Structure 1
Amino acid sequence: MNATERGIREQFALWNKLAPNDVTPSSERMQVVVGCGTSVHIADSIAVALNAHGHLARAVPGNEWTRRRGDYVPLEAPVEVVALSRSGESTETVAAARVSRAAGTPVVAFTCAPGSALCREADRLVEAETHPEEGIVMTASASLMLLMGLRYAGVTVGPETTRAAEALLNAVDPVLPGLIEGRSHFVFLGGGSYYGVAREGALKMQEMSLSQSEAHHPLEYRHGPISLIDERSLVVFMYHPDTREEEAVLAEDLQRKGAKVLGLGGPGTVSFDVGGDVEAGALTCLPVLQLLGEYVARMKGLDTLAPRHLTKVVTVA
């Protein structure tokens, strides 16, 4: 077991260690959740939770917010920026926070790096301790920032969710080697809060295993991307409780076309229940997606501690 896998398997104690706090959204300002890479995918799921709890929200990549705020939110709209960065040093995210504060927009920062540049650009701060062995690829820190964001939105996330996520990972673990055998095309499907996590699953697959991967809202997959499905495809389907029946019809179609389907919360080639709080389902599923990337990398003889072309912190002079 390498350090990446240890970080995935040992992250649950860190979830329980993250104490609730009193940092909550401003009721008078739209929430703009910014980040880069993994963080902007996590931001998507956080924005969904914020909207579900009555806070108008959207996710925006860091540099897009810095350079094109008016393309995403009317310039006169009152806004609060929620900035996500594991290291607190990502150039685009720090710039987005700095520009926001200069314009009089308050900034809330979620990070795993106390004392970092992002912390200095924040009006309010939420910090978490991530796994000490976490390398370039974000695993435990991604889960922790999603946990921070769900609580910030008003979702109650406690030990029940932690137990459900660890139980799901342990249940899925033994079937993963058989599912990935002979598969080189990986698809992640999820709607609502699961969509951001689906994008993160696809990114993990690319970073860790250099594999072809993609993410979509489930029913959008019929509109073009399904043309790529064949016997080389593995689909990770994160079912939304609201649309489970119609999503199950799609899963059957994908299997007829040659794909294997890992059903999380619904039917597939293999399927597993997703326990815990329904609103925290995306968090519950995330460690499974991380472990899947590690297993595919291992199958291909790749070292996830040294992913190609990547650095732990993206900084631009």
Structure 2
Amino acid sequence: MNATERGIREQFPLWDKLVMNGVRSRAGLVHVVVGCGTSVHIADSIAATLNMNGVLARAVPGNEWTRRRDNYVPATIAPHVVALSRSGESTETVAAAEVSRAAGLGLTAFCCAPGSALCHNADEVVLADTHPEEGIVMTASASLMLLMGLRYAGVAVGPETTRAAETLLRAADPLLSEVVAGRSHFVFLGAGALYGVAREGALKLQEMSLSQTEAHHPLEYRHGPISLIDDRSCVIMLYHPDTIGEEAQLARELMAKGARVLGIGGPGDIELPVDGPADVRPLLCLPVLQLLGEYVARQRGLDTLAPRHLTKVVTIA
């Protein structure tokens, strides 16, 4: 077991240690959730959760917010900004924080690095200790920032959620090698707040195993992307309890076209039951998607501690 895998399997005690110190979303304010790479995918799930809990929000990549804020929120609106960065030093996220502060906007930072540039530019900070062996690939830190976002939105996430996530990972573990065997095209489908996690699953597997991946809202998949489905395809369906029937129908169509379907929370060639309400499902599913990337990388003989062309912190001179 390498350090990446240990970080995935050993992340759960870190969830239970997270303290929000009273940091909560602002009622009546528009929120913009900013990040880059993994963090912007997590931001997408956080923004959807904020909306579900009555707080108007959207996710924006860091440089987009810096360069063209008025393309995402009208210039007449002064949103509260939530910025996500594991290191607190990612150039684009720090720049987004700096321009937000210069514009007089309030800023909350979710981070794993006290004293970082992002923290210095924030009005308030939520910090978490990530796994000590976490390398370039974001695993425990991604889960922790999603957990911060769910609690920030007012979702009750406690030890029972941690236990449910551990149970789901243990159930998935012996099945993942079978799911990915012989497959080279990977599709992640998720609706609502699960869409950001689907995107993160696709990114995780792509950077860990150098595989062809994509992510979509489930029913959008029929509108063009389904043309790529064949017996090389593996589809990871993150079932939303509100739409399980229509998503199951799509899964059956994909299986009939040759895909192997991992149904997380619903039907598939391999099925994993999910024990938890809809608002915590993104967090419950995320460790399984992280471990899936490690299994594909292992089958391809790749080292997830040294993914090609990547660095732990993206800084631009």
TM above 0.5, one fold? yes
Q: TM-score, normalised by structure 2?
A: 0.99
DSSP-derived class of the 1:311 partner:
coil
Contact 2:20–2:126 (8 Å) recurs in 1: no
Contact 1:28–1:78 (8 Å) recurs in 2: no
The structure 1 segments of at least 4 consecutive aligned residues displaced by more than 3 Å after TM superposition are none
Structure 2 CA distance for aligned equivalents of residues 287 and 212 of structure 1? 20
Equivalent runs, 1:184-195 vs 2, <5 Å: 184-195=184-195
Task: Report the number of matched residues.
Answer: 317
Structure 2 CA distance for aligned equivalents of residues 117 and 20 of structure 1? 20
Q: What is aligned with 1:87?
A: 87
Structure 2 CA distance for aligned equivalents of residues 71 and 19 of structure 1? 34
Q: What is aligned with 2:234?
A: 234
Contact 1:160–1:277 (8 Å) recurs in 2: no
DSSP-derived class of the 2:194 partner:
helix
Structure 1 CA distance for aligned equivalents of residues 218 and 36 of structure 2? 24
DSSP-derived class of the 2:198 partner:
helix
Contact 1:136–1:307 (8 Å) recurs in 2: yes
DSSP-derived class of the 1:78 partner:
coil
Structure 1 CA distance for aligned equivalents of residues 105 and 20 of structure 2? 25
Q: What is aligned with 2:262?
A: 262
Structure 1 CA distance for aligned equivalents of residues 81 and 120 of structure 2? 14
Q: TM-score, normalised by structure 1?
A: 0.99
Structure 2 CA distance for aligned equivalents of residues 304 and 39 of structure 1? 19
Structure 1 CA distance for aligned equivalents of residues 191 and 99 of structure 2? 32
Q: What is aligned with 2:35?
A: 35
What displacement does 1:273 show?
A: 1.0
Q: What is aligned with 1:65?
A: 65
Structure 1 CA distance for aligned equivalents of residues 27 and 170 of structure 2? 40
The answer to whether 1:22 aligns with 2:16 is no
Structure 2 CA distance for aligned equivalents of residues 305 and 272 of structure 1? 28
Q: What is aligned with 2:172?
A: 172
1:86-140 per-position Cα deviation (integer Å, ceiling 9, x unaligned)? 0000000000000000010010000000110000000011000100000000000
DSSP-derived class of the 1:87 partner:
coil
Q: What is aligned with 1:126?
A: 126
Unaligned 5+ runs, structure 2: none
Q: What is aligned with 2:213?
A: 213
Structure 2 CA distance for aligned equivalents of residues 83 and 215 of structure 1? 23
Q: Which residue identity is paired with 1:39?
A: S
CA RMSD of aligned residues (A): 0.6
Contact 2:240–2:278 (8 Å) recurs in 1: no
Structure 2 CA distance for aligned equivalents of residues 6 and 33 of structure 1? 29
